């Protein structure tokens, strides 16, 4: 017979309890989905039940710490609940309030950013400490978003004079020649994720003004050739779709007082044929070079919809099994 473990919690601030539960109990459903623990509420009381004591402790710690976070004045969002579960699961002694409040990164008057995983904290620290940082990992881990956040912060604090956002104009199954318009109109769809990040952190009019004056530049990688970028914060996004020659060209654009961040996912290379990815190669070329840091994300760092993390994990598992089958057939 399976043993069931039970526990209960009693909270008294009804306003904080409502925020803890979330709209229509959404936050509680998320904790149940993430731990498997059954959660029942009666007024200000919460009753927990699980066949796994460790998972029950995880759910209880998450609820207690999130309640304390709300009581301290923090506004709780669904992604915070997911992040708290991940953090406590990785480190049962973790202090969520410390992570969420003391490590708040002020981007602008419109936006603050909180690192939602240990890797994100490492990434932000690396960007501040190094002039060149590579963020490598799957979609949804915040690589580009956090890099843009730091860039905007540096610009508003006048630590740099410009932000340069760069992307290779390469996508799966599409060719620039098939799109209407002049060259800039052709490449704009490929740069849209960078515009989205900017508009999330700065007022729309402010972004437009900075784009028009050149304080912020969003451009395809090909436009970087022959330039030297001084006192700039430069971000190369989707770097897995650069060739080795393009990567070398980009990295040698850095001028005095500049900082660069390169982001990409080496499992999603869309280069034609058997072309080698510049991001893949550079990990071997630049490994150990002083002043450069590589930060690696995995599916546990995914901060989009919780389903994204499971999708990334499923694809990784599929790829591993495919490689194993190929190896067995070769034998």
pLDDT in tens, 292-316: 999 999 877 777 666 666 787 788 8
Question: For position 305, what pLDDT does the model report?
Answer: 61
Average pLDDT score over residue span 19-36:
93
- Predicted confidence (pLDDT) at residue 281 exceeds the cutoff of 50: yes
Residue 328 has pLDDT above 70, yes or no: yes
Instruction: Residue 271: name the closest of 186, 180, 168 by CA.
Output: 168
Could you tell me which of 103, 104, 143, 115 has the C-alpha nearest to residue 296?
143
| Mean pLDDT of the residues in the chain | 85
pLDDT on residue 198? 87
CB atoms inside a 10 Å sphere around CB 152: 25
Distance (Å) of CA 253 to CA 185, 186, 230, 258: 24, 24, 9, 10
Residue 307 burial by Cβ neighbours in a 10 Å radius (0-12, 13-18, 19+): exposed
Give the separation between CA 221 and CA 113, rounded to whole angstroms. 27
Average pLDDT over residues 106-115: 73
Which residue has better confidence, 4 or 48? 48
Q: Is the confidence at residue 268, as pLDDT, over 90? A: no
pLDDT for the residue 131: 94
Yes or no: say if 27 and 76 are a contact pair by the CB < 8 Å rule.
yes
In angstroms, the first-to-last Cα distance of the chain is 45
- Give the mean model confidence (pLDDT) for residues 275-293: 91
Q: What is the model's pLDDT at position 41?
A: 93
Average pLDDT over residues 238-242: 92
- List pLDDT tens digits, range 207-225: 899 989 999 998 888 888 8
For the beta sheet containing 216-220, the strands, ordered from the edge strand earlier in sequence to the opposite edge, are 216-220, 162-167, 232-236, 259-264, 132-136, 292-296
φ and ψ at residue 236, rounded to 5 degrees: -105, 115
DSSP SS3 for 235: strand
């Amino acid at each position: 017979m399976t043993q069931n473990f039970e526990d209960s919690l009693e909270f008294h601030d009804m306003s904080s309890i409502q925020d803890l539960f979330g709209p229509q109990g959404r936050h509680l459903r998320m904790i149940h989905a993430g731990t498997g623990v059954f959660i029942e509420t009666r007024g200000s009381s919460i009753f927990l039940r699980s066949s796994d004591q460790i998972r029950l402790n995880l759910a209880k710690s998450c609820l207690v710490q999130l309640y304390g976070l709300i009581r301290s004045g923090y506004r709780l969002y669904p992604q915070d609940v997911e992040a708290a579960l991940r953090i406590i699961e990785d480190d049962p002694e973790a202090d969520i309030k410390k992570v969420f409040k003391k490590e708040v990164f002020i981007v602008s008057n419109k936006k603050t950013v909180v690192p939602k995983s240990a890797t994100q904290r490492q990434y932000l620290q690396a960007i501040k400490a190094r002039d060149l940082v590579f963020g490598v990992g799957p979609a949804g881990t915040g690589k580009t978003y956090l890099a843009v956040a730091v860039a905007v912060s540096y610009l508003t604090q006048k630590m740099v004079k410009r932000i340069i956002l760069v992307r290779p104009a390469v996508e799966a199954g599409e060719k620039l020649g098939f799109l209407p318009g002049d060259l800039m109109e052709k490449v704009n769809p490929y740069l849209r994720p960078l515009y989205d990040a900017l508009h999330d952190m700065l007022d729309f009019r402010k972004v437009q003004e900075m784009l028009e004056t050149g304080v912020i530049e969003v451009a395809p990688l090909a436009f970087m050739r022959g330039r030297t970028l001084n006192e700039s914060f430069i971000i190369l996004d989707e770097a897995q779709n650069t060739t080795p020659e393009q990567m070398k060209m980009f990295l040698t654009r850095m001028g005095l007082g500049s900082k660069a961040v390169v982001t990409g996912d080496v499992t999603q290379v869309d280069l034609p044929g058997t072309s080698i990815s510049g991001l893949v190669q550079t990990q071997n070329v630049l490994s150990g070079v002083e002043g450069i840091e590589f930060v690696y994300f995995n599916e546990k760092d995914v901060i989009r919809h919780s389903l994204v993390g499971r999708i990334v994990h499923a694809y990784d598992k599929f790829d591993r099994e495919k490689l194993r089958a190929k190896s067995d057939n070769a034998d």
